[in-house]
């Protein structure tokens, strides 16, 4: 559970810094696309790993 708390606090801190330093325009133009890219990249990596694992399970060496 501690890992999730660290991720939430770090995401909140990055959002706060982005809003304080670059205002809402920087957050909308840079913060949201970067966060979305990280999330989609992570999801695609998990999906690819699941597909590869399923193939490797049913078709071993």
Q: Could you report the per-residue pLDDT of 5-47, keeping only the tens digit for each?
A: 998 999 899 889 988 998 888 888 888 899 899 999 999 999 9
- Say if residues 18 and 29 touch (Cβ distance below 8 Å): no
Residues contacting residue 14 through CB under 8 Å, at least 6 positions apart? 31
Handedness of CA 32, 35, 41, 46 (dihedral sign): negative
Residue with tokens 């992570």: 42
CA 58, CA 40: separation in Å to the nearest integer? Answer: 27
pTM for this prediction: 0.68
pLDDT at 23: 87
Token representation of residue 49: 């790993």
């Amino acid at each position: 559970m501690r890992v999730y708390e660290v991720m939430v606090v770090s995401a909140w801190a990055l959002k706060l810094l982005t809003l304080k330093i670059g205002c809402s325009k920087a957050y909308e133009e840079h913060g949201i696309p970067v966060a979305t890219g990280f999330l989609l990249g992570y999801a695609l990596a998990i999906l690819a790993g699941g597909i590869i694992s399923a193939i490797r399970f049913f078709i071993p060496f």
